[in-house]
Structure 1
Amino acid sequence: MRIPSWISQHLAAVRAVVLFTVLTGLLYPLLILGVAQIPGLRDKADGSLVKANGQTVGSSLIGQSFTDADGNPVPKYFQSRPSASGYDPDATAASNLGPESMEDTLGDPALDPNSEEGNGSKNSLLTDVCSRSKAVGELEGVDGSRPYCTADGLGAVLRVFYSDGVTGKVTRAVSVNQACPATPFIAGYQGVPVECGKFGEDYSKGVLVPVRGSAPEQSAVPADAVTASGSSLDPHISVEYAELQAKRVAAARGVSVDKVTALIGEHTDGRALGFMGEPAVDVLALNLALDRM
């Protein structure tokens, strides 16, 4: 009995689905799993896990925070760089904010910013950098000021209104990142008093003007202390940032700064392939070495 062509086509399709399911869904994954268990690859395939006293304490490829239950830095540990995902491997992502992100979204003062819904506020990249630099400076006992940052850790930007749109006489200036009743970081701009920002007002017709301020050109707080990596999982920090933290860590542990600095050197990885990037410090390995010491 001849099978109708449409049935033959469907049977061929079913056989193809079964075949490729077995090949790509079973045999290929099992083959890769077997290859991954070859000595030398096994540790990396299992997540490059780091163990201390028989317990898994992290991964050599994924950073982590060294903070207390309230999110405050633990003084005896070196701190990692900021993370846009909170070092969650399931939510790895960058903030996708660039140099033009200077203006914050002010929150509704009638809403609770600590509630689950929040108050609708959102920081610009500039304010994130400024607030982090201020916090690191206070933690490490150095000047955390940066150009284009206010003393209270916000982006120092104005919306400036001109009589002829983008030219002419200045008629109004608003410190858009400082919500009322805050005192603006500068009292006046080109003869006009500077106002604090008000929730719900539209300032889009004003020209966005960053104000440099009097901060030194080179901040005492390095860039990786205030910016997250592209993956938000980077387990390393710069040697400069590690050395900035050495004094605090040494004091918290009651050891000499020289001893802590020596450990930094022992846990500094060189440039990739000998020429790419900069030397970097493995934060987890360094903190584990401190605990063993």
Structure 2
Amino acid sequence: MRLPSWLSAHLAALRALLVLTVLLGVAYPLALVAAGRIPGLADRADGSLVEVDGRTVGSTLIGQSFTDADGNPVPRYFQSRPSAAGDGYDPTATGASNLGPESVVDTIAADPARSTPSLLTRVCARSRAVGDLNGVDGRRPYCTADGVGAVLAVFRADGLTGPVSRVVSVNQTAPATPFVTTWQGVPVEVAQPGEDYVAAGGLITPVRGDAPDTPAVPADAVTASGSGLDPHISPGYAEIQVARVARERGADPAAVRRLVAAHTTGRTLGFLGAPAVNVLALNLALDERFPVR
């Protein structure tokens, strides 16, 4: 007996569902699991986890912070780059800040908890903190001495032309002192919380300052990676940390540099990417070679 066309169509769809469920829902996942058990691939399939004395301490593929309970850097360890993933290196919230080079003006609210620093201020604050921690010059172009973006809102009598009538350091609030006293003969004010100086007609003017052209603190020390999970830092960032780590561990800086070199990978295929230092692997090697007693 010939089945009705509607019933035949439903049965064909059911057969296709069953076949695809077996192939893609059972056979394919099992094949991937089996491939992950191949010698040499098993560790990577499990997340490239690192164990010390039977305890998992991290992954070579996912970065982590080396800070104390209050979020302060632990001086005896090399520090990772900043992370915008959740509260920092959160694999469930991987991502970037999505702030671009035009983010130079902070949002300063009356409630400090609702204020949002610009990308420029974040970079300035991080550079100052890294410089202080490692005893190097943390100054950067377009940054104030107190670690915010050196940006003025310049108001003119006739809009974009005419004499300057008012100047505001938009990223500094009381009791801070303006990073420049006057601008074109006009006294500089600090910003007032809640004020929008751009909407009010101020011309946003970043001020370079006298910082060196090439900052001592490298870019990866002050910017987060796109994923927020980068386990590596640049050799340049590692180098400015060597003296601090050696001092804290009572080690020879030359010996610490040799460990850094041993945990530095070169460019992929010799020309892709840049040399990088795996921070977790380096810090574990330090604990083994120069334990803190």
Amino acid at match of 2:266: G
Shift of 1:4: 3.2
Match of 1:190 in 2: 184
Deviation at 1:287, TM superposition (A): 0.5
Residue among 275, 285, 292 paired with 1:279: 275
CA RMSD of aligned residues (A): 1.4
- Residue 147 (structure 1) aligns with: 141
The correspondence for 2:118, drawn from 124, 143, 148, is: 124
* Cα displacement string for residues 237-283 of structure 1 (whole angstroms, at most 9, x for unaligned residues): 11111111111111111111111111111111111111222221111
Q: Deviations over 1:111-167 (max 9, x none)?
A: 3x4xxxxx3111111001000000001101111111100111000001111222222
State how 1:107-256 maps to structure 2 within 5 Å: 107-108=109-110, 111=111, 113=112, 119-204=113-198, 205-256=201-252
User: Which consecutive residues of structure 2, in runs of 5 or more, have no partner in the other structure?
Assistant: none
Question: By how many angstroms is 1:2 displaced?
Answer: 4.8
Give me the whole-angstrom Cα distance separating, in 1, the residues matched to 2:171 and 2:73: 26
In the TM superposition, residue 69 of structure 1 has moved relative to its aligned partner by 0.5
**2:189 aligns to what SS in structure 1?**
strand
If the length of structure 2 is used for normalisation, what is the TM-score? Answer: 0.93
For the residue of structure 1 that corresponds to 2:246, the secondary structure is helix
Structure 1: stretches of 5+ with no match in the other structure: 114-118
**Structure 1 match to 2:80:** 80
2:161 counterpart SS class: coil
After TM superposition, give the deviation of residue 63 of structure 1 in Å: 0.8
Offset at residue 18 of structure 1 (A) = 2.6
Q: CA–CA distance in 2 between the matches of 1:271 and 1:258?
A: 24
Alpha-carbon distance in structure 2 between the residues aligned to 1:285 and 1:155: 35
Residue in 2 that maps onto 1:116: none
SS of 1:202's equivalent in the other structure is: coil
- Determine the C-alpha separation between the residues in 1 that align with 2:253 and 2:196: 52
Write the distance in 2 (CA, Å) between the matches of 1:134 and 1:202.
Answer: 27
Secondary structure in structure 2 of the residue aligned to 1:94: coil
Aligned match of 1:258: 254
The correspondence for 1:104, drawn from 106, 129, 150, is 106
Q: Deviations over 1:79-127 (max 9, x none)?
A: 011111111111111111111110111022xx3x4xxxxx311111100
Deviation, structure 1 residue 8: 2.8
CA-CA distance at 1:195 after TM superposition: 1.2
Q: What percentage of aligned pairs have identical amino acids?
A: 66
Give me the whole-angstrom Cα distance separating, in 2, the residues matched to 1:18 and 1:195: 72
- Structure 1 residue runs of 4+, over 3 Å off? 1-4
Structure 1 residue 199: deviation in Å? 1.8
- Report the residue type matching 2:253 in the other structure: V
Separation in structure 2 between the aligned mates of residue 98 and residue 50 of structure 1, nearest angstrom: 35
Within-5 A mapping of 1:54-65: 54-65=54-65
Whole-angstrom distance in 1 between the partners of 2:2 and 2:271: 70
Report the AA paired with residue 98 of structure 2.
N
CA–CA distance in structure 1, aligned partners of residues 118 and 30 of structure 2: 46
SS of the equivalent of 1:169 reads strand
Question: For the residues of structure 2 that align with 1:173 and 1:105, how far apart are their CA atoms?
Answer: 18
Secondary structure of the residue aligned to 2:259 is helix
- Alpha-carbon distance in structure 2 between the residues aligned to 1:105 and 1:202: 8
Q: Which residue of 2 aligns with 1:49?
A: 49
Between 56-65 and 1-10, the greater mean CA deviation after superposition: 1-10
TM-score, normalised with respect to structure 1: 0.93
Select 2:286's aligned residue among 268, 285, 290.
290
Separation (CA, whole Å) in 2 of partners of 1:13 and 1:168: 75
